[in-house]
Amino acid sequence: MKMPKYLAQWCLHDFGDEQGVVHFPRGSAEHDVLELSLTTLPKGAEPQLRQPDEIAIELPVFKTKPLPFYCYLNDHGRRLLLHIISVRFRVLLWDDLYNIERLQLPITDVIYDWMSRHGIDDDESNWETIRQIFFRMRKKYRKNNNINKS
């Protein structure tokens, strides 16, 4: 499955195994999306194999959808799964960093530290993307809670 670099690195770090395959836990939103979205391979379609710039996601076994037959995730299912993965990422980022202002630490160091703890490569592109995600969440939080920047 194709996703932004920082998200793929995080996903592999938090849910991947030694072979680089992602396993979502039973009962997780990602697992449920797979159960909902997996279909049989459409006529004329080729099986979906991992491309060099994608991550492999293990397809769980469901009683109602036997794996040899239900092994295809259409574009809608892929978008839904990617959305759920990015929501989990943003929730984790917010939970870990929302109160850093009280500590008066440099945001640059805090984000680089967070990235290293979650298996995300230490590069400017990843840092800037994550910084923007965090700043947008913080801005929305402040607006929704009538918090003025001090």
* Percentage of the chain exceeding pLDDT 70: 99
In whole angstroms, give the CA distance from residue 148 to residue 150.
Answer: 6
Q: Assign 6 a pLDDT band (cuts: 50, 70, 90).
A: very high
pTM over 0.85: yes
User: Mean pLDDT across the stretch 78-104?
Assistant: 92
11-25 pLDDT tens trace: 999 999 988 899 999
pLDDT of residue 149: 63
> Under a CB-based contact definition with an 8 Å cutoff, are residues 89 and 52 in contact?
no
